[in-house]
Amino acid sequence: MRILGALLCGCLFGAGLALSGMINPEKVLGFLDIAAIPAHGWDPSLIFVMAGGLIIALPFFWWAKWHNTALLGGNISLPTKRTIDRPLIIGSLIFGVGWGLAGLCPGPAISALSYLQLEPFLFVVAMLAGMIIQRLSSRP
Amino acid sequence: MENFTPFTALAGGALIGLAAGLYILLNGRIAGISGIIGGIIGAASAQKAERIAFICGLIAGPVILALVAGYRPAITVDASLPVLLLAGLLVGYGTSLGSGCTSGHGICGLARFSPRSLAATLAFMATGFLTTFVMRHLIGF
């Protein structure tokens, strides 16, 4: 049942990425290109995607705060770390550079594999390599 | 603002929020895509099967939307091959070091008012804006 739950959530997530247009790197870059604001070429759609996502997700996460067990069994696992540390900030800064270079982040990149185009596939391979390099380099 | 699509953006965002909400409700897990992938490529991690199921759904989602609603936005990747590969490396390295991406920090983290996720979101937005500016207007890619 947990596997079916994950599959359902993945499908909804992927459909949302496609419907919102965020699966298209060009649209994401249209948001990141704030220098286009004076020429009225800026695309603020991503703000609406985040707003829609947050409004719907909020009550679920509020519920999760007060419960220990998920509906399909197992514990509810929320991050417990509270400190804003160097890895968090440096990692996020590096992620943003990669995001701004191609307009792809992990979710849309994986979802875009369904288009069977070469570019998302190459990006995902490089992304996996980047994750593995980070893990190997962080080992003591 | 001819590319601005507020209604599909809101509706698509709501679907993403519903997916993230249902994942914490049903499975008790954060729908952070970089974290889910990280758990699959990691040596020994729990719930590998359901992580793989989520990723399969993520790939199937756009196909289902196209079949059910007949909606399939085109994908345009402007980045050249070396830039695309560098971008992938940086996104993989950065999300692994920073424990999350647009979904884990930007949606799930902000929805539970996590100060860490707010800091991360501000950080990747800042370099995202800056990088796009440099690429489009200074270097001219």
**A100/B24 Cα distance (integer angstroms):** 29
pLDDT of residue A8: 97
Domain boundaries, chain A: 2-138
Cross-chain residue pair A91–B24, CB shorter than 8 Å: no
* B55 at interface of A, judged by CB pairs closer than 8 A: yes
pLDDT of residue B141: 57
Q: Which of residues 71-90 of B touch A (CB under 8 A)?
A: 71-79, 81, 83-90
**Does residue B90 contact residue B78 with C-beta atoms inside 8 Å?**
no
User: In the predicted model, what is the mean pLDDT of chain B?
Assistant: 93
Average pLDDT over residues B62-73: 95
pLDDT of residue B139: 84
Chain B residues in contact with A89 by the CB 8 A cut-off are 98, 119-120, 123
Chain A residues in contact with B109 by the CB 8 A cut-off are 79
What six digits make up the tokens of B1?
């603002």
**B88/A70 Cα distance (integer angstroms):** 34
Q: Look at residues A112, A17, A103 and name the one whose alpha carbon lies nearest to residue B11.
A: A17
pTM over 0.80: yes
pLDDT of residue B97: 96
Average pLDDT over residues B116-138: 96
Q: Crossing angle for the helix pair B81-97 and A118-138, nearest 10 degrees?
A: 40
Q: Is A139 exposed, middle or buried (0-12, 13-18, 19+ CB in 10 A)?
A: exposed
pLDDT of residue A35: 92
Instruction: Report, as ranges of residue numbers, the positions in chain A whose pLDDT lies below 70.
Output: 140
Domain boundaries, chain B: 6-139
Chain B residues in contact with A75 by the CB 8 A cut-off are 28
pLDDT of residue A40: 86
- Asked whether residue B29 carries a pLDDT value surpassing 80, the answer given is yes
pLDDT of residue A140: 61
- Chain A closest-CA separation from residue B51 CA (Å): 7
pLDDT of residue A39: 86
